[in-house]
Amino acid sequence: MANTEAALKETATAIEGVIGTALVDYTSGMALGTLGGGKELDLSVAAAGNTDVVRAKLRTMEMLGLKDEIEDILISLGSQYHLIRLIKGRNNNGLFLYVALDKNRANLAMARHQLKRIEAELDV
């Protein structure tokens, strides 16, 4: 089982093209841990903003009566992919892994596969 720091390091090294990554509590909007980012990407702002995205999608699913779970949310920009992977598991409710990727260097299918693997090993 990986802790927050180990999961973020694994995300940054196992996934090609990572700009920054964070583990976020979407009940509060706070990042529990971040790695990367910098001038190019303020991960605290990204954590708060993506919390709004997750909450909006969960509300929409509830209003539609959808009895399903979100695996991940993809936002495609001109030069970046932003992936939000909701964490499932006994102790991990209300969390998501967020990763911003350079579109020219990243393989989206592999990134999703690696995030799923990292999520399965995460224990916060």
Could you read off the pLDDT of 45-100 as tens digits, one per residue?
Answer: 999 999 999 999 999 999 999 999 999 999 999 999 999 999 986 565 799 999 99
Residue found by looking up tokens 């999961």 in the block: 7
Query: pLDDT at residue 2 above 80?
Result: no
Report the alpha-carbon distance of residue 8 to residue 100 in Å, rounded: 12
Which tokens in the block code for residue 50? 């993506």
Query: pLDDT at residue 1 above 80?
Result: no
Contact (CB, 8 A) for 119 and 85: yes
Could you read off the pLDDT of 12-25 as tens digits, one per residue?
Answer: 999 999 999 999 99
CATH superfamily, domain 4-121, is: Dynein light chain 2a, cytoplasmic (3.30.450.30)
Report the alpha-carbon distance of residue 57 to residue 14 in Å, rounded: 28
Query: pTM of the full predicted structure?
Result: 0.92
